[in-house]
Amino acid sequence: MKTQINGTDILELGLPEGKTIGIALRINSKRHGFTRDEMITNFKNVLETPENYIDDKIFSKLAIALIEKSNEKPEDFIALNQNPNAYSAYGLDHIEDGARKQMEVAMKLPVTVAGALMPDAHQGYGLPIGGVLATKNAIIPYGVGVDIGCRMALSVYDIAEDFYFENEANFKKELIANSIFGAGHGFHGQYKSDHAVLENDAFNMNPFVKNLKDKAWSQLGSSGGGNHFVEFGIMEFAKDDSVLNIPKGKYVALLTHSGSRGMGATIAGHYTKIAKDVCKLPEVAKNLAYLDMNSQMGQEYWLAMNLAGDYASACHEIIHNKMERALGATILAKVENHHNFAWKEIWNGEEVIVHRKGATPAGKGVMGIIPGSMTAPGFLVRGKGEENAINSASHGAGRQMSRTQAIKNITPTDMKSILRDHGVTLIGAGLDEAPMAYKDINQVMEAQQDLVDVVAKFTPKLVRMADDGSRED
């Protein structure tokens, strides 16, 4: 077995961060007959004298990238603000350093007005997951995220708790029959759904977006991979809620989590590349490249982002409508909120673009759903409109283990044991989604008491997720 060389090894050789690391890793993946030590020696030689390798069949791309990098000057990049405003943070003691550092960089953008870090925050690309950033007249594709418009949707039924336990097999049957998961998966022929979102004029804004329509239609009403789910559980209202007009009690509820599928991911990748081409930021901030809202590309992305958000909402609507018909139930209340999105809002008297990457809108009176994990409770909440948090709250418990760490450290026996202890039936999902991979949702909720009021608690009972370990496509 070959001894691998990873990005850390290459950084330790002195190669600069950025595309040179990626080029070196791609060269190493082929190994070209070199041992690990020989490859390391070659990398050192290219770093010291890249001009000697410009025409080399194996190392030329790395040599050219190093020469280009050495010729870069500070004036080639948009300057960052070295005296940025402070950002607000909630539950900071339980937020990893990587997320804090990403937030600190985001605050240095010349377009940044304000920022906040939610208690479920962890490191992502560009803006951390759980990061909220208000900007002036600028939109950051990676400040929105790859899964544009990812959201939670909840239906509370007029079905008592006891009925669920007496008919669990039927709920399981309908869950399997009316949901489909995984990257690339979709519907075909007579099984395709129809929805008004497919007639949205935004699909005709340019050839790039137009070409996404067929795939969007196929995946309409499906759920993605990763942490996306469709689940039944028990929603407990500890007291009457006059706003939703729901009496105190325990009800069966359907909770779904997914986003804009392949269409949103493709839009994110396309416009991020454009942003990086037109917005030259220093290496540390390159994934925060932004588009001017007055530019054609800025307006295109804004329209495409909103289209992806509408599409994500349509996917949830179809799933919930199918389940309502299958169960023959009456819905007492529906609540939906999204994250991985940007909104035009007023902040300190001026219009700003608020990016909520993995953060829930929590303006005064705004309803939201904050899930825990497949065995931990979720919470139906009402926002308090806390300005220091830019009217936001967490979007879940947040990961405390990366997917790789979870797969390495959690066994199937561990997973089965915790599911059994909590009385949860699981369909699909890999070890990367095990409950132990997530932070304590009660700790997260404790850290954001100033941001939301809890209206009801949701306890998962029957959970379906992608069974192939896939990420979004």
Backbone angles phi, psi at 124, to 5 degrees: -135, -150
Residue ranges for the known binding site are 147, 227-231, 257, 339-340, 371-374, 395-398
Backbone angles phi, psi at 219, to 5 degrees: -90, 0
- Options 195, 338, 355, 395, the catalytic residue: 395
Does residue 316 have an active-site annotation?
no
Residue ranges for the known binding site for GMP are 227-231, 339-340, 371-374, 395-398
Q: Distance between CA atoms of 98 and 381, rounded to whole angstroms? A: 28
Residue 234 contacts residue 350 (beta carbons within 8 Å): no
Residue 267 contacts residue 148 (beta carbons within 8 Å): yes
Burial of 71 (0-12, 13-18, 19+ CB in 10 A): exposed
Give the CA distances from residue 397 to residues 151, 371, 376, in Å, rounded to whole numbers and listed in that order: 15, 7, 9
Give the CA distances from residue 249 to residues 42, 110, 367, 401, 422, in Å, rounded to whole numbers and listed in that order: 69, 50, 19, 35, 21
Residue ranges for the known binding site for Mn(2+) are 147, 228, 257, 339
408-441 as b/e: b if 16+ CB within 10 A? eebeeeebeebbeebebbbbbbbbbbbbebbbeb
Q: Distance between CA atoms of 378 and 31, rounded to whole angstroms? A: 48
Give the CA distances from residue 439 to residues 80, 93, 452, in Å, rounded to whole numbers and listed in that order: 33, 12, 19
* 239-247 contacts, C-beta under 8 A, 24 or more apart: 241/455, 241/456, 243/382, 244/156, 244/332, 244/333, 244/455, 245/332, 245/333, 246/156, 246/332, 246/333, 246/456
Residue 395 contacts residue 451 (beta carbons within 8 Å): no
Nearest CA to 16 among 73, 72, 66, 78?
66
Q: Which residue has the tokens 């039927």?
A: 170
Residue 155 contacts residue 254 (beta carbons within 8 Å): yes
Question: If DSSP codes are grouped into helix, strand and coil, which group holds residue 386?
Answer: coil
Nearest CA to 311 among 190, 198, 180, 178?
198
Active site residues: 395
